[in-house]
Amino acid sequence: MTPFPIFGTPFLVWSAILKKMNFKEIVTLAECSRRTYKMVKAAYRKRNIIDILSGWPIKRTPLNILQYLRFLSPLVEPVTLTILITDPVEFTISIRHSSKIYDFKVIFTTPIPRTCRVISCGQWKMLGRLSDDDMTVTTYWNNRRYGIIQFLDYLEASREDLNLKIENLELNGDVLFEDFPEIMKLTTNWIHSKKVEVQNLRLLEKLNQKDFEHLFYRIQPTVSLTSNAKTIPVFRVDQISEQHQFKMRRLALCPGNWFTFENLMNCDCVTIDISSCQFDERNILEFLKHWREGKRWEKLKKLALVLSHGVIVEKILKVLQKDRSPLRIHIDDMFSYIEHKDGAVARITSRDGNLQLTHLLTIDVLPQSSHQW
């Protein structure tokens, strides 16, 4: 006799049995084996998790949510993660679905607190405790690396079912964060090897150059790259392939001393914000010529550059004005305007509020009707 005599049960009978079970029992049965998982999925096709959670007395804990989401896949709404590797003590992953956020924390500590209890999700078990509102689960490990591996393994098992995307990935090194390089590489290598989409990548100021390079060449965010990481003056990012070009919607670098004009030429962003960049007047002039002739930056809507103090934007515009081009240019103290070949207009200013800063360049791309020549 097999351990599961229901395997020989006709499908209609099997479905009737499931209707007598509550949802938690159904999910538990599905986790028993791959075969029971497929059978339960075939017979139980409810996909709206809001209906499920409101209809059954289920605790909305992070681990339960992962388990139920995996069972209810494919989902209409996306499941996104926020991963924070910024604290020497905590490694945090937040799971967002249907406007709810559930936090999962991995904490390294010795000894493990006695108040912990065994928390399970399917066949996955660890020591931890839930917050009072059941929205956060904190797990404790003698080896934090092992705890992170355990959670990444569970995410990988659920990834195809859930169509997981990483909404935010935030990293910051620290002298107190001794195992940061190991934890960072462990996480980013998993993201890179599994080709998990990262929407927003934020690199904070304490990230060193070696870690920055490791991240840049492995993770290309689709929405935004924000970096406050400091690098040595001679550091440069080479455009080694099309995969490593700047194709996110928003690029913000402060400082951006490593960002070269060649990097700018390979940008395909909607918004570009670079401070402390090393562009000279020749670079800015070439940028404006390429833009107005429609050769590059078709998506660009806003550009903000803080240039070196030797660069004077008004001087560059006057040189451009002398160029024999049918495209119009208008120079004024407050705002100057350059016409694009398709009729759009670049509004240019060097003002920051009431201050006139000669080395500040801000460009807003406006519709054709926004300026009267």
Can you give the chain as a three-state secondary structure string? CCCCHHHHCCHHHHHHHHHCCCHHHHHHHHCCCHHHHHHHHHHCCCCCHHHHHHHCCCCCCHHHHHHHHHHHCCCCCCCEEEEEECCCCEEEEEEEECCEEEEEEEEECCCCCCCCEEEEECCEEEEEEECCCCCEEEEEECCHHHHHHHHHHHHHHHHHHHCCEEEEEEECCCCCCCCHHHHHHHHHHHHHHHCCCEEEEEECCCCCHHHHHHHHCCCCCCCEEEECCCCCCCCCCCCCCHHHCECCCEEEECCCCCCCHHHHHCECCCEEEECCCCCCHHHHHHHHHHHHCCCCCCCCCEEEEECCCCCCHHHHHHHHHCCCCCCCEECCCCCEEEECCCCCEEEEECEECCEECCCEEEEEEECHHHCCC
Residue 81 lies inside a defined structural domain of this protein: no
Query: What pLDDT does 50 receive?
Result: 43
Does 56 fall in a domain? Answer: no
Which of the four pLDDT bands, split at 50, 70 and 90, describes residue 3?
Answer: very low
Bond from prior residue into 74 cis (ω within 30 degrees of 0): yes
pLDDT, the chain, mean:
77
Between the two ends of the chain, the Cα-to-Cα distance in Å is: 88
**How far out from the chain centre does Cα 117 lie?**
33
Instruction: Please tell me whether the peptide bond between 233 and the residue prior to it is cis, using omega within 30 degrees of 0.
Output: no
333, part of any domain: yes
Nearest CA-CA partner of 180 in 167, 193, 171, 168: 171
What per-residue confidence (pLDDT) applies to 52?
45
CA atoms within a 13 Å half-sphere pointing along the CA-CB vector of 286: 9
Specify if 199 maps to a domain: no
Q: Is 271 exposed, middle or buried (0-12, 13-18, 19+ CB in 10 A)?
A: middle
Q: Please answer whether residues 37 and 30 qualify as being in contact, where contact means their C-beta atoms are separated by less than 8 angstroms.
A: yes
Question: Residue 65 pLDDT > 60, yes or no?
Answer: no
Domain C-terminal end among 45, 60, 80: 45
| Within-domain flag for 187 | no
Cβ(175)–Cβ(141) below 8 Å = no
> Whole-model pTM?
0.74
For residue 356, pLDDT over 80 is answered with no
Count of CB atoms situated within 10 Å of the CB of 120: 11
Q: Does residue 357 sit within a domain?
A: yes
Is the pLDDT higher at 297 or at 2? 297
The interaxial angle of helices 209-216 and 180-194, nearest 10 deg, is: 10
pLDDT in tens, 155-199: 776 666 566 678 888 888 765 567 788 888 888 988 888 888 899
Domain range for 35: 1-45
Total domain count for the chain?
Answer: 2
Q: Is residue 17 part of a domain?
A: yes
pLDDT value for 198: 92
**pLDDT value at residue 234:** 66
Domain final position from 10, 29, 45: 45
Of 326, 327, 371, the residue nearest 348 (C-alpha): 371
Phi-psi region of 134 (alpha: psi -120 to 50; beta: other; left: phi over 0): left
User: Does 27 reside within a domain?
Assistant: yes
Identify the pLDDT of residue 253: 93
CA–CA separation, 354 and 56 (whole Å):
60
Share of the chain above pLDDT 90, in %: 14
Take residue 264 and report the two structure tokens written for it.
């700018």
